[in-house]
Amino acid sequence: MNDTILLAHGSGGKLSHDLVERKFLPLLANPLLDKLDDSAIFEANGRLAFTTDSYVVNPIFFPGGDIGRLAVCGTVNDLSMNGAKPLYLSLSVIIEEGLLIADLERIVRSIKAAADEAQVNIITGDTKIVNQGQADKLFITTSGIGIIPAGIDISGANAKAGDRVILSGTIGDHGIAIMSQREGLRFETFLESDCAPLNKLVAQIVEACPNTHCLRDPTRGGLATTLNEFAKQSNVGIVVEEDKIPVKKEVKAACELLGFDPIYVANEGKLVAIVESGDTNKVLAQMKKNCYGRDAAIIGEVTNDHTGRVIMKTKLGPSRIIDMLSGELLPRIC
């Protein structure tokens, strides 16, 4: 086999079969995938969650992860944010002719490791090849199916006045890690993307508090956009306190240098939970037990005032309205 991807690997014929059989199947093997029919078949009974995301992150390898880990974690997390237990993923890859097969292998290995960590199987997939210059190395689309335990109803529309807003950890790590890799910035400490599967953290939250109202992972658009989505979907106001929001000092420094506000910078391993005031402490205690939630903090509350809007109380000055991200902060961040 050649050491780079050729157009013929996308033909649907012999080279396509070879690529799938040698580079994907041995690593991702499981009984559902191995059947190689047009669809994978499984049994399910109950309320299912279904989600999809495409990943176009640049560079494809970055501190703390790569496009493969990102694609698995992102879809696992989207399922988890409805309280679903992720079960199965699909994996569709668009590859630019000329990609090193060694790079593809490294990404497939990373996909496998992330899927193992999240305890999900990839059961169906597709590969397309485009000519050089018609894509950038590779793009991955993952879709996922999860099952929602009985009695769980988590939605961005469920926030109620009096609820508390909990953030699972520091913000901006992913965006700044990508940016620093891309621009060759150097920081005092080595900053990594927070890219991680949050399904076990969510299972712990939901076990502690089956009545969790909202969960969402603040990816593109950052914390500010997620809070605005909650405020609009639930028709409530949200007030957060700036000095309660955990930000790593190297992220803070990079943001100052680049003119960014960390509340708009993408995360890939964080979640925002909205729970009733009385549930706050038990949820927070549970989150702190998980390695992906040990820096969790209560950052604000839900109000009946200024519905549809998010207000941030600043440390020194007056409160300010926080809008969604309006322009483009960092293209191809995920």
**To the nearest whole angstrom, how small is the minimum distance from the Cβ of residue 275 to a second copy?**
17
With respect to a second copy, which residue has the nearer C-beta, 6 or 185? 6
Terminal CA-to-CA distance of the chain, rounded, Å?
31
**To the nearest whole angstrom, how small is the minimum distance from the Cβ of residue 9 to a second copy?**
8
Rounded distance, CA 184 to CA 171, Å? 21
With respect to a second copy, which residue has the nearer C-beta, 18 or 116? 18
Nearest to 181 by CA among 172, 170, 199, 193: 193
Strand 85-96 to strand 121-130: parallel, antiparallel, or no bridges (unpaired)?
parallel
**To the nearest whole angstrom, how small is the minimum distance from the Cβ of residue 88 to a second copy?**
6
Residue 62 host element (H or E): strand 61-62
With respect to a second copy, which residue has the nearer C-beta, 296 or 322? 322
Both tokens of 129, joined, read 């090849």
What phi, psi does 92 have (nearest 5°)? -125, 130
With respect to a second copy, which residue has the nearer C-beta, 3 or 37? 37
- 85-96 sheet: strands from edge to edge: 121-130, 85-96, 138-148
**To the nearest whole angstrom, how small is the minimum distance from the Cβ of residue 212 to a second copy?**
13
Burial of 48 (0-12, 13-18, 19+ CB in 10 A): middle
With respect to a second copy, which residue has the nearer C-beta, 81 or 283? 81
Rounded distance, CA 18 to CA 15, Å? 5
Both tokens of 22, joined, read 């040698």
β-strand partners of 93: 127, 140
**To the nearest whole angstrom, how small is the minimum distance from the Cβ of residue 171 to a second copy?**
14
**To the nearest whole angstrom, how small is the minimum distance from the Cβ of residue 37 to a second copy?**
5
Rounded distance, CA 165 to CA 280, Å? 8
With respect to a second copy, which residue has the nearer C-beta, 52 or 119? 52
With respect to a second copy, which residue has the nearer C-beta, 203 or 324? 324
**To the nearest whole angstrom, how small is the minimum distance from the Cβ of residue 14 to a second copy?**
5
With respect to a second copy, which residue has the nearer C-beta, 3 or 328? 328
Both tokens of 125, joined, read 């997939």
**To the nearest whole angstrom, how small is the minimum distance from the Cβ of residue 54 to a second copy?**
4
Rounded distance, CA 53 to CA 334, Å? 10
Both tokens of 305, joined, read 């005032």
Both tokens of 219, joined, read 């990816």
